[in-house]
Amino acid sequence: MVKAPIAKKVPYEITTHGDTRIDNYYWMRDMERKDPEIIAHLEAENAYTKAEMAHTEALQAELFEELKGRIKEDDASVPFFYDGYYYYNRFEKGLEYPIYCRKKGSMEAEEEIILPVNELAKDHSYYQVGGNAISTNNTLLAFSEDTLSRRVYTLRFKDLNTGEFLDDRIEGTTGGVTWANDNKTVFYTTKDPVTLRAYKIYKHVLGTPQSEDVEVYHETDETFNVGVGKTKSKEWLIIHSGATVSDEYRILRADTPEGEWQVFQERERDLEYGISHYNGSFYVLTNKDGATNFKLMKTPENQTEKTNWEELIPHRDDVLLEGIDVFESFLVLSEKSNAQSKLRVMKWDGSDDHYIAFDEEAYDVASSTNPQFDTETLRFSYTSMTTPPSVFEYNMETKERELLKEKEVLGGFDKANYVAERIWVTARDGAKVPMSLVRHKDTKPSKETPLLLYGYGSYGITVDPGFSPSRLSLLNRGFIFCITHIRGSQMLGRPWYEDGKMLNKLNTFTDFIDCAEHLVEASYTSPDHLYAMGGSAGGLLMGTVMNMRPDLWNGVIAAVPFVDVVTTMLDESIPLTTGEFDEWGNPKNEEYYHYIKSYSPYDNIEEKDYPSTLVTTGLHDSQVQYWEPAKWVALLREKKTDNNKLLFHINMEYGHSGASGRFEVYKEIALEYAFLLDLEGHVNPSH
């Protein structure tokens, strides 16, 4: 019998604002990820998890085949037309990675493979293509690759006429690349080698070594990250410096890559804005003058300071303006109101203004790839808890829509077998919190029904009610699945986010608990059959609600969890820290220190019973360092007073996003589902 690893204790004092914390597991931190004692401990954790889950191996294998079996192996994306070519990705049976292709002029033309990713990946256990961009004359491809899973990319180039890869290689980038209009100059962003902050923009001329690249911008403020891009009009190059509550852009004519960059509107704290360009004007999406949910303004391209911005779409208290698409005759707004994504189509001449209508109660709709200005056709994506991802073309003039593709789900899927609903919960302070729920039509809510409650609730990121083919394996075995749209997201607009960050962060956790309590009180489930899951900042959510209400959950899955919040936010050498002071607060400020400490999962573990828990991470995680969950598990194992499972699975090859291949990821999902099903005694047989 394999015993649970018991980590050694080496007291490490951290004193802040006169408050001393003793961290007995601080020794697990190793930025190099080479310490043999730490590696041995992590491998022992993996061995323990494997032994504890050995009796589920047949179930895991069954789940893996089931999950993989829903995926159409010889699939392809919907082609989009750009600069004379139709571009698409396709998969071949048995291969893990996409093949990037294009056809000139029509889909009947001969296929040109522009990037054979499977060939590039064959010598790597992890391989991920980051950005890719075609030169203005359509003859050169720039792309980036990550072979470690640290989200640090190498830029490479390919001559599409000859099929040969160029000698140019640019190391240490964010993965994005932008062409100037001269077809020989590219701009890219590099990362600080220690903190991984995107901080410098360089210019590279093809055929020259990286050592000769020119630094065109250095972002010295450690709370900002930078990136470089190009407007849809192809007329302007743009550098964006962004922090949580502030933006600044620099612009340069794309025809003059040697020119001087001009500041669009200099940064101001609490002034956020984004820019689009069309026909001599810039369109500015901004929160200027207290427009919390954002408004749309317009300014001439030679007068870009905010004093010249003129309002086109005013701010609305009940509608979040998330984005825009500019066309020659139409303006398309991406909005969110009453916890629902919406697309609004307006004619510039004022003769029409309408929303695209849908039948379902809760869904996710978003503008898709729309590279052309001179068109009446809008391409958008649509999904719901019961509808697989779909791509539509919509005629903005006639209002006719055409379904180009609904993602095929193999294995006998029929959307009529599933039921989705939207539930509103009154939180303890009176706020109305929406939830999206899905179940098999034969699964009746009851005290005996297993329910998986999912949450995130940070950075203003909204987990919209979308479809998951993997999730069917739980639904078909009698589980209900529910997403909580808690504060910290933007499901109910920007104020919903503001009310779940900084000194309001506790609302995120209490919202999740209040949603769980409602589901129990309404007899959707009971604590004996209620499970919680979240990843990254959602893993912080898991750790906190486990401390606050350990009695509510029969099991918890915490993926790549951000659980050592105080220590991490005090350490500015760790990736992400400096850029997140306006999300969590800076604990060097005493008020924030004590507030963060009040909910930080690692700092609030007590001697009490905890639910069965599965924790997952990747050794090379660049977002949440592996030692956070490693320390958390060690302390939980030391303190907890129950005999419930505490399992820790560390992928020794991957990082924050898990495996890179399209099938490999299902092995980890199979482990997670087997963990839940095992706690349920394998639940009911499939419907």
DSSP 289: G
Cα separation, 281 vs 302, in Å, equals 9
Sheet containing strand 85-90, strands side by side? 80-82, 85-90, 99-104, 112-116
**Does the annotation mark 571 as catalytic?**
no
What contacts 661, CB < 8 A, 6 or more positions away? 96, 97, 121
* SS3 category, 420: strand
What is each CA distance from 109 to 55, 64, 78, 282, 491, in whole angstroms? 53, 38, 16, 37, 44
Catalytic residue among 240, 485, 518, 656: 656
The residue behind tokens 């914390």 is 21
- Helical pair 36-52 and 627-639, crossing angle rounded to 10 deg: 60
The C-alpha angle 510, 511, 516, rounded to 5 degrees, equals 95
Catalytic residue among 514, 564, 621, 678: 621
Torsion on CA atoms 103, 108, 113, 117, rounded to nearest 10:
100
The residue behind tokens 């998969």 is 91
For the chain, counts of helices (H) and of strands (E): 12, 37
* SS3 category, 657: coil
Cα separation, 487 vs 508, in Å, equals 5
Cα separation, 158 vs 180, in Å, equals 16
**Does the annotation mark 621 as catalytic?**
yes
What contacts 104, CB < 8 A, 6 or more positions away? 84, 85, 86, 110, 112
The C-alpha angle 400, 406, 407, rounded to 5 degrees, equals 160
Tokens representing residue 125 in the block: 């256990």
What contacts 505, CB < 8 A, 6 or more positions away? 488, 584, 595, 596, 599
Cα separation, 478 vs 444, in Å, equals 9
Cα separation, 338 vs 319, in Å, equals 8
Q: Which of 465, 514, 210, 220 is nearest to 361 (CA)?
A: 465
**Does the annotation mark 374 as catalytic?**
no
Tokens representing residue 672 in the block: 């997670």
Catalytic residue among 536, 612, 657, 660: 536
Spatial contact of 239 and 254, defined as CB atoms under 8 Å apart: no
Cα separation, 45 vs 67, in Å, equals 26
Tokens representing residue 462 in the block: 């909204």
Tokens representing residue 29 in the block: 């931190």
Active site positions, annotated: 536, 621, 656
